[in-house]
Amino acid sequence: MLKQPFVKKQNNIHYNNISLNIKKKSISTKKITIQLTDIELKIIILLIKNHNVTHSKEDILNYAWNRNDNYVSVVPQTISLLRKKLHRHNIDIIDTIKGEGYKATEKTNSFEIPNIKIWALFVAFLTCTVISYMLYDDYIIKKPIVQELVEHSPNIFKPSNSLPVIFDNNVIKTDIYYYINRQKCNLSISACKLEDGQCRSIYNKLFFTNENNTPEDITPYLSEVYFDYTPPKLLAAHQIDDEFKVESSVDLGALDNDNYSGHAYLYYDLKTERNEKLISEFSIFITESGYEGSYRYSSDLTINLHKENDKYFALLSNMNKTTNFKLGREHHGIIKDQTQLYAYPRLLNGPIKTFYAHIYPISKNTNFTYFEDTKTSLLMFEHK
């Protein structure tokens, strides 16, 4: 059994451009601090204190778990999740040595990881349009806000400009990542079910309110999370193909109206004009309590991309003033109760002309996107 590295008098370990705080169980860069579990902390200590050594799965199991009542398969599963957790913030400190085990990445002065696949940017830009249509408000384009995706607590993530939240930790499941975005006028809850470190199913729900006062305690809304939306078959990231599609599914609710419910399906057809510019035709299909049947919106967009560290900005603009592309609403039913309409009146004035989106790739073919104009957020999939 491996002996634990001597760290009793050393609360901080520096390796490349990261700092490991053993007492606080955290890993830090100049920009962010990430909390670690006991097991994750032990794995990182073992690897970086013995960075020239390749450690087998059995070595890591014996050291990090310190007991023999676990199967060795728990090691690659835990390391996969840990890598995802760190890669989200451009931290790469674990190398896999095929057939042997794991070791720390080579000790250098840099810890940057390869650029995130450009598909992830595309994916995120799509969603922005849809949700922003659903919460229309006049918006003057200046510069994108300063924002980052932060880890609120284990498995819980929030945009840095989200309002505070509280919840009962008993509702949090270890195989799910939760993305919470609380604003005064709306509440966005998204979740990603993990398998082998990848999002295999996602959940989105957008809660409207006319009271401009969302609750701080979100326990009831986290308890509602379920998964029945999985990626299409043959899901693949396309680095060369200049045409692809993005889609998502969103439940709708109202914080001030228990009788209201709705659903929206979002769909984008995208084509790459050049590395930093896309053309997109989007459509949104909506059902809600106050409408008998359904209605649909469609529009065409230009999307200009900009990469910054581990995230992307997208500036989306309507093309309809300069082209003959379609824009409008199609009715497949009738209004039956205006008191039970939330999405419809917010779409009445038509789509916003120009706005920013912040895109955070979180898994292969999956991203988390925040929309500045409406302060809402969403998870979605990309496919051919």
How high is the pLDDT of residue 108? 63
Q: Are residues 126 and 98 in the same domain?
A: no
How high is the pLDDT of residue 219? 97
Q: Are residues 99 and 221 in the same domain?
A: no
How high is the pLDDT of residue 264? 93
Contact 286, 262 (CB under 8 A): yes
How many CB atoms are closer than 10 A to CB 61? 21
Q: Where a domain ends, among 104, 132, 150?
A: 104
- Residues of the chain with pLDDT below 70 are 1-10, 66-71, 108-142, 233-241, 274-277, 280, 318-328, 348-353
How high is the pLDDT of residue 68? 54
272 located within any domain: yes
Rounded distance, CA 220 to CA 168, Å?
9
Rounded distance, CA 210 to CA 213, Å?
8
5 located within any domain: no
Strand order in the sheet with 18-21: 12-15, 18-21, 26-28, 33-35
How high is the pLDDT of residue 10? 58
Count of structural domains, the chain: 2
Q: What Å distances lie between residue 126 and 15, 142, 279, 281, 294, CA to CA?
A: 38, 20, 10, 9, 22
Q: Where a domain ends, among 72, 104, 136?
A: 104
Rounded distance, CA 253 to CA 207, Å?
5
How high is the pLDDT of residue 234? 59
What's 28-40 look like in SS3? ECCCCEEECCHHH
DSSP code string of 7-64: -TT--EEEETTEEEETTTTEEE-SS-EEE--HHHHHHHHHHHHTTTSPBPHHHHIIII
3 located within any domain: no
Q: Where a domain ends, among 42, 74, 104?
A: 104
Give the residue numbers spanning the domain of 65.
12-104
Closest CA to 22 of 38, 2, 4: 38
How high is the pLDDT of residue 141? 55
Token pair of 92 as six digits: 């790469």
Question: Which H or E element spans position 280?
Answer: strand 277-288
Q: Are residues 47 and 83 in the same domain?
A: yes
How many CB atoms are closer than 10 A to CB 155? 19
Q: Are residues 68 and 156 in the same domain?
A: no
